[in-house]
Structure 1
Amino acid sequence: MKALTASRFRSWIRAAWTYVRRAPGTFVWLAVLLATTVVSRHLSAEQLQVVLGDRSTNLHHLAEDPVRVLIASAFWLAGGGWVTYFLLYNVFHVPAERWLGTLRWVTVVAIAHVGATYLSEGVLYWAIRHGRAPASAVDTLDIGVSYGLAGVVAVLTYRIAPPWRYPYLAAVLVFYLVPLFVHLNFTAVGHFTAVLLGLCCYPITRSRKGVWSPVAAVRRMRRTAATT
């Protein structure tokens, strides 16, 4: 009985390692986010504000040190727990990285993260110049991984087989479009921009074969269940 339990445990470990190894970029990113989340939990509110503020992609930092903050901001979570992002990364980033390959996946993330940051901060700059936002908004906290995630959520549209692709796309657009009408701010603009940039990454996906169909997935699960 002990030998059977040990064998089953080893098979689970091998399966988990195989799962992680097929999306190395995603899990390295999650590991770094876990480390920074642990660090943030041991900081006081004032200390955390300083740490996040130093890594914020706000107008002030984008003008003085854009490369540093664009990279650093992608490794800290300003809101939401690490477990939540662990689940979201497994739902969206893992299949995207497996499908596109790590380099193409990173490219989509970078395009969404950088492009949405600059466009949303550009909107904020316009609002400041026209008196629609206070001058102090140049130091507004803008940090996190959600723009890259939104871009990947969007690019996965091309992974899904028609006709399932279209309701998925509609759901994504509605989810990110509603905040523009409910509570318009630079973050809502950034998220919707990231979605549009993700959809614009279609040329990156053209050489990647294989589409995912929920019907086919259910059939495979049934066949697997029947043989076990």
Structure 2
Amino acid sequence: MSHPVVRRLQTLAETVLAYVRSAPGTYAWLAILLVNTIIMDHFDPRFRYHFVLHHSTNLRELSHDPIRVLISSALWLDGGHWWPYLILYSLFHAPVERWLGSARWLLVVVISHVGATYLSQSVVYFNISHGSAPASDAFVPDIGVSYALAGAEGVLTYLIAAPWRYFYAAALVLYYGMSLFGDTDFTDLGHFTALLLGLACYPLTRARASSWDPMLSLRSVWTRLRSN
């Protein structure tokens, strides 16, 4: 018989693999981000700056080729490490995809990403048009996956069982809402908008059960690991 530690590691590996397989869209997206991050790390700083501009959802690029930049901006990370997104995607995107299915999850992602982008950039356009912001704001780099993440966090509210869902939703509103006070920029508004859009996706959740209790899930996993 194998050692108990080996059996537990095998069980853990099987659990992780099953989790990944249950959210193919989430982890395929993560794989693309990983590859693209490795590629970007090899770019010359000057080339990297222009590359990011070309794939940004700023006013200039949206006015020239909106579909291209809306897609490409969600496939790159503007600096930083990749591994935090592995954690965030596993905690938020993966549960939503497992719960709603890949098609509905993707719809939430598109609604949040596109809606938040256009609303935040509309504010930039308004400010430039009325002289309260410089024309150069139309060229500010804006790539990344944070709007879609905020949307997934929002819709996840309806999966969590009461009373935990109310604490969770309040924490999200507080976290993203606080950034709107003080020295804010268009991305702060975009994140809060994406959260609201995720919450507005409630109709997509009506046909799905919504009784996930995080504490019961943690106890179940712990019990399974101890029994092997």
- Stretches of structure 1 that go unaligned for 5 or more consecutive residues are none
Q: CA deviation at 1:209?
A: 1.2
Q: CA deviation at 1:61?
A: 1.1
Partner of 2:186: 186
Is 1:208 the counterpart of 2:208? The answer is yes
Question: Which deviates the most, 27-36 or 77-86?
Answer: 77-86
Partner of 2:92: 92
Q: CA deviation at 1:173?
A: 0.2
Question: Which deviates the most, 145-154 or 179-188?
Answer: 179-188
Q: CA deviation at 1:15?
A: 3.8
C-alpha deviations, 1:163-198, integer Å up to 9, x for none? 111111000000001111032110000000000000
Structure 1: 4+ residue segments shifted above 4 A: 1-14
Letter in 2 for 1:136: S
C-alpha deviations, 1:99-137, integer Å up to 9, x for none? 111100000000000000000000000110111110111
Contact 2:52 2:143 (C-alpha < 8 Å) held by counterparts? yes
Partner of 1:167: 167
Partner of 1:136: 136
Cα RMSD for the two superposed structures:
2.2
Q: Where do 1:24-35 residues align within 5 Å?
A: 24-35=24-35
- Stretches of structure 2 that go unaligned for 5 or more consecutive residues are none
Q: Where do 1:75-154 residues align within 5 Å?
A: 75-154=75-154
Is 1:220 the counterpart of 2:220? The answer is yes
Question: CA–CA distance in 2 between the matches of 1:33 and 1:179?
Answer: 26
Q: Where do 1:58-69 residues align within 5 Å?
A: 58-69=58-69
Contact 2:158 2:210 (C-alpha < 8 Å) held by counterparts? no
Letter in 2 for 1:128: I
Q: % of aligned pairs identical? A: 49
The verdict on how the C-alpha distance between 1:191 and 1:217 changes in structure 2, with shifts beyond 3 A counting, is same
Letter in 2 for 1:59: L
Partner of 2:19: 19
Question: CA–CA distance in 1 between the matches of 2:180 and 2:71?
Answer: 26
Letter in 2 for 1:224: R
Question: CA–CA distance in 1 between the matches of 2:166 and 2:7?
Answer: 44
Contact 2:8 2:226 (C-alpha < 8 Å) held by counterparts? no
Q: Paired residues, what number?
A: 228
Question: CA–CA distance in 1 between the matches of 2:185 and 2:95?
Answer: 30
The verdict on how the C-alpha distance between 1:201 and 1:141 changes in structure 2, with shifts beyond 3 A counting, is same
Question: CA–CA distance in 1 between the matches of 2:225 and 2:10?
Answer: 21
TM-score normalized by the length of structure 1: 0.92
Q: CA deviation at 1:5?
A: 9.1
Partner of 2:157: 157
Partner of 1:50: 50
For the residue of structure 2 that corresponds to 1:182, the secondary structure is coil
Contact 2:12 2:225 (C-alpha < 8 Å) held by counterparts? no
For the residue of structure 2 that corresponds to 1:46, the secondary structure is helix
